[in-house]
Amino acid sequence: MKIAMAQQNYHIGNFEKNLQKIKEGIERAKEQKADLVLFSELSVCGYPPRDFLEFDDFILKCYDSINQIRELADTIAVVVGAPCRNDSDKGKPLFNAAWLLYEKEVKGIAHKTCLPTYDIFDEYRYFEPGFEWNLIPFKGKKIALTICEDIWTLGDNPLYRQWPMEALSRQMPDLILNISASPFDYDHDDDRKEVIRANVLKYQLPLFYCNAVGSQTEIVFDGGSLAYDASGNILREMSYFEEDFAVIELDANTVIAKSQNTLPAARTLDREMRVYKQNEPSRIIEYLTAENNIRQIHDALILGIRDYFGKMGFRKAILGSSGGIDSAVTLCLACEALGEDHVKAILMPSPYSSEHSVSDARALSENLRNDYRVIPIHDIYEDYLKTLKPIFGDLPFGLAEENVQSRIRGNLLMSMANKFSYILLNTSNKSELATGYGTLYGDMAGGLSVLGDLYKLQVYALARYINRKRNLIPINIIEKPPSAELRPEQKDSDSLPDYAILDKVLYQYIEKRQGPREIIAMGVEEALVKRILKLVNTNEYKRNQFCPIIRVSCKAFGVGRRVPIVGKYLG
């Protein structure tokens, strides 16, 4: 049997474009004489459709696409993902379903049982869990058709009471097909491979796993679709962060397939597998800045920027270029993702900007060959202070005056974005967002946050990765102490702990959900831990007003992290 996998980049709600991609995948599979072609989870409508699922018109369009695909499934079987109505008078009105179409008929429908409702996932809000599990016969073979999380029920602490593969395995299947929309994060890729392989070895069946690729607002799907034979040998590992297509041929028995690649011996899927090596306190920063993680993060951010602009119908980006590390890295990524001709940098020196900041920002844009402009804000700033003088009186210079500069810059950038149809890229990093080190309606303005899920030390590591072939980012930008330059001689270290300590504490609290007791036990000073955690919790109101953040970690700010604004815990 020859099985094709079409790893494609869909656009939520763009039924015409999604259908065209699926049709092209079917034709390509037919040309290569495949018996069956596999597409990813909710491929017809794009994942995650969220509240679009509540519109009957949206569901009707899904069914119309299924009917058109069914007509193409004549000499080849097609497995696609789409919502399916629940005909029962009990439960939610929809299932998340995998449809197997063949001979222009619906030969079988598998309903997703394990509905993730954590972090960025909210499937139980919309779908009814599957409650019947049956194999689908095809060309003399019995297929166990599953959807994403349905094979994530191994280990000593499963999230779900129902295990679809346990029920399906008792019916003696010949192979497992899994369609998925599994998002990228740098904590997740090895875990995902191990789970898939563990299913292969437990049930001693070949497994074909077709994952989505592409970015949907803040979520990045990295692809990396996989095929294994029944012995745990890898048949094909498809590309990451780009579309791909593959046809894999199983032998007559579908038990052992032709393969030249063998994976390492299987590890036991128990609690130990869930404990990442980066939990070692001394190695957290080493893990966060590891080259392999940074390389994947780089590729995810490029895809995230490119798809956000492409799917929104925008072509041009604008950002404030300060001569600092965050804006430098953002500018490099934007130029790579969109092309330097589509990115404009605005340098806006204030009375407290250093000469090297302006010269560094100029040098960066000259290296990248992107358009830039210098707009000093001295006069505008003085006008603001004069206007506010009767109200502020003789009160000393402070945070209000500092933030005026940032808000002037935000206003200028947004004005140009409105006038010339740019998207403003925000340059704040996760360390700043976590601690509230940013100005609402100033440097927190933007349509998309590029670095909002990267800690400061990861931004530095990403800068070094960008410079791996030649120094696009001037060395001075990387080596000088970071500063907001909103008052004389200002440094980040005036307001924040050393980033090596801060990022370690933040990672343990945000990603690992460790409390103050556990973090203090790692050797961090108690008063410092309490101060950092208080900063995180009391600045939720700022993050709640922030733009979408490209997600690269297992716990990003935004839709995947829901904490109260008005709360007292650790505040």
Do residues 165 and 134 touch, judged by C-beta distance below 8 A? no
For tokens 């001569």, the residue is: 323
Task: Pull the structure tokens for residue 111.
Answer: 């309903």
Separation CA 447–CA 417 (nearest Å): 10
Sheet holding 94-102, edge to edge: 105-111, 94-102, 77-85, 36-38, 2-7, 244-249
Instruction: Print the SS3 string covering 513-562.
Output: CCCHHHHHHCCCCHHHHHHHHHHHHHCHHHHCCCCCECCCCCCCCECCEC
Catalytic residue among 45, 84, 114, 148: 148
Helix, strand, coil percentages (3-state) for the chain, rounded to 5, are: 40, 20, 40
Known catalytic membership, residue 540: no
Report DSSP state, residue 163: -
The amino acid present at 357, given as its one-letter code, is S
Phi, psi of 154 (to 5 degrees): -105, 165
CA–CA dist 241, 203 (Å, integer): 30
Report which secondary-structure segment, H or E, holds 219. Answer: strand 219-222
In the set 21, 61, 107, 112, the catalytic residue is: 112
CB 236, CB 246: distance < 8 Å? yes
Could you give the CA distance from residue 328 to residue 342 in angstroms, rounded to a whole number? 16
Per the CB < 8 A criterion, the answer to whether 107 and 101 are in contact is yes
Q: Which of 41, 194, 336, 432 is catalytic?
A: 41
Q: How far apart are the C-alpha atoms of 213 and 184, rounded to whole Å? A: 9
Instruction: Report DSSP state, residue 130.
Output: P
Say whether 148 is catalytic. Answer: yes
Measured in whole angstroms, the distance separating CA 301 from the mean position of its chain's CA atoms is: 8
Give me the sheet containing 422-426, strands edge to edge. Answer: 371-374, 343-347, 316-320, 422-426, 448-449
Q: Which residues contact 391 (CB under 8 A, 6 or more apart)?
A: none
Q: Is 41 a catalytic residue?
A: yes
Centre a 10 Å sphere on the Cβ of residue 122 and count the other Cβ atoms it contains. 17
The DSSP line for 247-271 is: EEE--TTSSS---SEEPPPPPP-SH
* Interatomic CA distance for residues 91 and 212, integer angstroms: 28
Query: Nearest 5°: phi and psi at 150?
Result: -65, -20
207: enclosing H helix or E strand? strand 207-211
Which residues does the annotation mark as catalytic? 41, 112, 148
